Amino acid sequence: MEADIKIADRGEHQSLMEPLLIGEGSRHRPALTDLALDVTRKSAGLRRSLPPSMLTSLADLVRSMNCYYSNLIEGHDTHPIDIERALKNDYSKDARKRDLQLEAKAHIAVQAWIDRGGLTGGQAMTPEGMCDIHRRFGELLPEDLLWAEDAVTGERVRMAPGELRTRDVRVGRHIAISPGAVPRFLARFAAVYRKAGRTESIISTAAAHHRLLWIHPFPDGNGRVARLMSHAVLLETLDTGAVWPVARGLARNVSQYKILLANCDLPRRNDLDGRGSLSEEALAEFTRFFLTVCIDQVDFMESLLQPDRLRTRIMLWAEEEIRMGALPPQSGNILEALLSRGELPRGEAATLAGTGERQARRIVSSLLAKEVLVSERPRAPAGSRRRIALATRASADNRARRIRMP
């Protein structure tokens, strides 16, 4: 933060962003509670229906999907193939495309950190957690993407990763609180949302999503931070396993998403519109939209993966590949074992396949080459037991890795 910038503080009170929650006594609450319970049931059912061995690789796919759709919301159309290439450090020679590839890779890296437990115990709702998301993302961005135009002055300003804004900002018709007020509003934000119970946390994820954007704590990157924060909250509250992408649903309904967010900026309309400074009805409408999007995305992943037919589809695919000579015989034995056990040491492959060790290594190598299996600890020390597991490609019947993202 530059020492010569005087941070303006107009003394705004935190009550300006009330209501933060849709209270138990609200007329909107029963319908929202039903939606929250539906999200919980469907999300838990999807996770239980998937072989544990697939959760990690499926989460990898979802991170790429989330990244793709989050970029679309920001107006950055980075093709899925370019994202895949970026993950392999294969960048375009075109400077703009390369920047967007690096942006995509940064998003995926931050979400991977979240998925591996980087923000537990409600840390995503704290000022420190939000700054951590912003810093980790910003530090991986190319220099050109760290600069944005100040909507008030028209001046080009460089974003400092992880640092709160020091200037006034305007987003559309919304003039955000003064920069000096941001820390106390974030403190109030954390105090309310971190103490919420499980059902309350699910319902209030949408409210927190908007209120963070309303505070607008960073000069740029607030939308991405809000979506990653929401992902972290749902991951922890619902124990989603990170296997369904909320950003996809928001992007596919981006006009409605932005309109409903803007409506939440409106002041209370009348005596039937809650008791806060902002409209409770608009907040409830956005919450209904957000929870419905979550349900739609769980349904989408279930329809893509068809977990009830998963074992049959994988084994039929393996039989066809063996018939065409694309896989060695006995490959199905290893896949069958992995579907039952989740993962296994590579050293057991020969026993399971009913072959010698040399042939078993050939089978495993073929399955790895087709990205049907993943090998854990690829650089494990000599003597350690490396393990293999099913990859996402197998889980979606050879479609998930090459999904056309509609």
In this structure, what CATH number is given to the domain that contains residue 185? 1.10.3290.10
Same-domain status, 28 and 112 = yes
Tell me how long the chain is: 406
**Residue-level pLDDT at 181:** 98
Same domain, 284 and 396: no
List, for residues 242-297, the tens digit of each pLDDT value.
Answer: 999 999 999 999 999 999 999 999 999 999 899 999 999 999 999 999 999 999 99
Same domain flag for 153 and 173: yes
* Full residue range of the structural domain in which residue 341 is found: 308-402
Task: Name the domain boundary from 257, 280, 305.
Answer: 305
- Are 185 and 257 in a shared domain? yes
230 and 315 together in one domain: no
pLDDT score of 395 more than 50? no
What's the pLDDT score for residue 386? 66
Residue 5 domain-assigned (yes or no) = no
pTM: 0.84
Residues 312 and 283 in one domain: no
Shared-domain flag, residues 120 and 207 = yes
- Given a cut of 80, whether residue 70 has pLDDT beyond it is yes
Q: Is residue 347, in this structure, part of any structural domain at all?
A: yes
CATH code assigned at 334: 1.10.10.10
Which tops the pLDDT comparison, 29 or 5?
29
Distance CA 245, CA 188 (A): 28
Inform me whether the pLDDT recorded for 113 exceeds 70. yes
Percent of the chain topping pLDDT 70: 91
| Average pLDDT of the residues in 72-88 | 93
Average pLDDT over residues 111-140: 96
Residue 392: pLDDT band with limits 50, 70, 90: low
Q: Same domain, yes or no, for 316 and 387?
A: yes
Does residue 4 sit within a domain?
Answer: no
Answer yes or no: do 387 and 316 share one domain.
Answer: yes
pLDDT surpassing 80 at residue 93:
yes
Q: Are residues 142 and 39 in the same domain?
A: yes
> Are 112 and 133 in the same domain?
yes
Higher pLDDT, 1 or 84: 84
The reply to whether 167 and 243 lie within a common domain is yes
Does 329 reside within a domain? yes
**Residue 396 maps to a domain:** yes
Distance CA 362, CA 371 (A): 14
Flag whether 389 is in a domain.
yes
Domain assignment present for 8: no
Q: What would the DSSP string read from start to end of 236-285?
A: HHH--TT-S-HHHHHHHTHHHHHHHHHHTTSBP-STTS-SSSB-HHHHHH
User: Lowest mean pLDDT: which of 9-23, 35-49, 206-220, 358-372?
Assistant: 358-372
Question: Which residues are CB-contacts of 229 (< 8 A; sequence separation ≥ 6)?
Answer: 124, 125, 129, 130, 133, 208, 209, 212
Give me 179's structure tokens. 């920069």
Counted domains in the chain: 2
The string of pLDDT tens digits covering residues 146-156 is: 998 877 778 88
* In-domain check, residue 196: yes
Query: Which of the two residues, 235 and 371, has the higher pLDDT score?
Result: 235
User: Strand locations in 97-203, DSSP E?
Assistant: 147-149, 156-158, 170-171, 174-175
Where a domain ends, among 305, 320, 354?
305
Owner of token pair 């056990």: 341
